[in-house]
């Protein structure tokens, strides 16, 4: 792993509060005061303002009451977390990279909706892990993304998911994730 990215990832991880235990993840209640943005503040997470796409596409497309988010990768201060999970990065570092990707995607979703409380449900997630052909811990890596969605949205954050391995990803990103979200006005 490149030293600069390792240092940035280490700093980011040191600044994050510990994830709640699995029991609290499964017992999240949806009160009438549903406020995912307040939850993000409580977690110490500041959503990034989405930058321009790196190629000829858009970051989100609305159709009906669904938003399809284009694939995104983990960034710290505008730099991608790169490398192959299981070779250059540990599974735990991959988990954190997937979590960072979730933060990136929430920034895109906020820019698209204006208010994250409009999220009715995280419907589907496709997570791709940059790894060697014999790597098999894709679900554990992508749990970083899924756990974040449940922490932020509670029951509304539980989603269908595919976790697959890729021999390469754009810009050598550690993970790339797409998401489909149902919203209400």
The helix/strand/coil state of 156 is helix
- Cα dist. 134→114, 128, 131 in Å? 42, 15, 8
Q: Could you give the percent of the chain with pLDDT greater than 70?
A: 82
Q: What are 156-167's pLDDT values in tens digits?
A: 999 999 999 999
CATH fold of the domain at 3-12+52-183: 60s Ribosomal Protein L30; Chain: A; (3.30.1330)
Cα separation of 53 and 34, whole Å? 31
Domain boundaries, the chain: 3-12+52-183
Beta strands 119-130 and 160-166, pairing class: parallel
Closest among 101, 102, 122 to 170, alpha carbons compared: 101
Number of helices (H), then strands (E), belonging to the chain: the values are 5, 7
Give the confidence band of 12 by pLDDT, cuts at 50, 70, 90.
low
């Amino acid at each position: 792993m490149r030293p600069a990215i390792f240092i940035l990832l280490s700093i980011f991880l040191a600044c994050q509060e510990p994830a709640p235990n699995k029991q609290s993840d499964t017992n999240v209640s949806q009160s009438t005061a549903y406020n995912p943005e307040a939850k993000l503040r409580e977690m110490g997470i500041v959503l990034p303002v989405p930058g321009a796409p790196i190629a000829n596409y858009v970051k989100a497309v609305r159709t009906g009451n669904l938003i399809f988010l284009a694939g995104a990768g983990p960034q710290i201060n505008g730099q991608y977390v790169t490398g192959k999970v299981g070779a250059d990065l540990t599974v735990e570092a991959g988990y954190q990279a997937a979590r960072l990707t979730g933060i990136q995607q929430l920034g895109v979703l906020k820019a698209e909706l204006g208010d994250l409380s409009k999220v009715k449900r995280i419907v589907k997630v496709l997570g791709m892990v940059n790894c060697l052909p014999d790597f098999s811990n894709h679900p554990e890596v992508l749990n970083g993304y899924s756990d974040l969605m449940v922490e932020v949205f509670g029951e509304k954050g539980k989603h269908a998911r595919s976790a697959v391995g890729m021999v390469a990803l754009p810009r050598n990103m550690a993970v790339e994730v797409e998401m489909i979200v149902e919203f209400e006005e």
